[in-house]
Amino acid sequence: MPSEAAPLTLASLPTPFRALVLGSSGALGAAFVELLRAQPHCAEVVGLHRASSPALDFADEASIGAAAQALAGGPRFHLILNATGILHADGLMPEKRLADLHYAQLQATFVANTFGPALVLRHFTPLLDSERGLMALLSAKVGSIGDNRLGGWYSYRASKAALNMLVKTAAIELARSQKNAVLVALHPGTVNSRLSRPFRGEQIGRPALAAAADMLRVLDGLGPADSGSFRAYDGSLLPW
């Protein structure tokens, strides 16, 4: 489903619709914001990140609930996207061997990729619209246990696998109280961004706008029966 195949229309979202992008200062987050604001029937796109108001910082647990509370008094959101994540940081690169494992990297990776998104599920799912509410958390194909053939990247793989379980479990609970909600883990593919740059992302990655458009098309086609699934940017189901 290449991004240039058809115009981005998001026909399943009502007129007008409201969207929320968490991690809107990153490459994919900013691309989501740009594309959503360009939709004629979009009423508002709210973007949150560490320096926004309200601020959202996964290293600060209290900020997650506070950000949700700050938005709770307004209209509900038809689309919520979590575009945050970490693969590497200063002095931290994906581990190739068991001998590379240590607490500092495990903790930093799980805070960004698992613990923060877990509290996003807790605090932000109540902000979904009751009639059409889509929520996607960006995961990664390397978080698939069934697809793991190369090994390595221990912290990142494990953090995304844990995220996938959180999404699946939350979707089961959410279906009991919000029957129209759609909650999915979404693999963006390789994107030309800071996250992928040390791994030839500039050469093999797609532009962030193209990747974001692909994922929005996938989300536009999902219904409540698809909630709890693990999807790739082309719409295909990925193994857990």
More confident residue, 123 or 4: 123
CATH superfamily, domain at 3-232: NAD(P)-binding Rossmann-like Domain (3.40.50.720)
Task: Identify the band that residue 7 occupies on the pLDDT scale cut at 50, 70 and 90.
Answer: confident
The residue-averaged pLDDT of 104-120 equals 96
Query: How far apart are alpha carbons 78 and 80 in whole angstroms?
Result: 7
Task: Identify the band that residue 201 occupies on the pLDDT scale cut at 50, 70 and 90.
Answer: very low
**181-to-44, 176, 227 alpha-carbon distances in Å:** 20, 10, 7
- Non-local (6+) Cβ contacts of 91 within 8 A are none
pLDDT at residue 205 tops 80 = no
Angle at which helix 116-124 crosses helix 154-177, to 10 degrees, equals 10
Query: How far apart are alpha carbons 54 and 97 in whole angstroms?
Result: 39
Angle (CA) 29 211 167, round 5°: 65
* DSSP 8-state code for residue 150: S
Which residue spans within 7-92 are E strands per DSSP? 17-22, 42-48, 79-82
What's the pLDDT at 88?
72
The burial class, CB within 10 Å (0-12 / 13-18 / 19+), for 148 is: middle
Domain residue ranges of the chain, discontinuous segments joined by +: 3-232
**Taking the model in full, what pTM does it have?**
0.92
Task: Identify the band that residue 91 occupies on the pLDDT scale cut at 50, 70 and 90.
Answer: confident
Q: With pLDDT > 70 as the criterion, what percentage of the chain qualifies? A: 92
Query: How far apart are alpha carbons 27 and 32 in whole angstroms?
Result: 9
The residue-averaged pLDDT of 114-129 equals 98
pLDDT at residue 72 tops 90 = yes
The residue-averaged pLDDT of 121-136 equals 98
pLDDT at residue 206 tops 80 = yes
The residue-averaged pLDDT of 138-149 equals 96
More confident residue, 220 or 200: 220
16-58, pLDDT tens digit by residue? Answer: 999 999 999 999 999 999 999 999 999 999 999 999 999 999 9
The residue-averaged pLDDT of 105-118 equals 96
pLDDT at residue 3 tops 50 = no
Task: Identify the band that residue 10 occupies on the pLDDT scale cut at 50, 70 and 90.
Answer: very high
pLDDT at residue 118 tops 60 = yes
Q: With pLDDT > 90 as the criterion, what percentage of the chain qualifies? A: 86
Cα-atom radius of gyration of the chain, to the nearest Å?
17
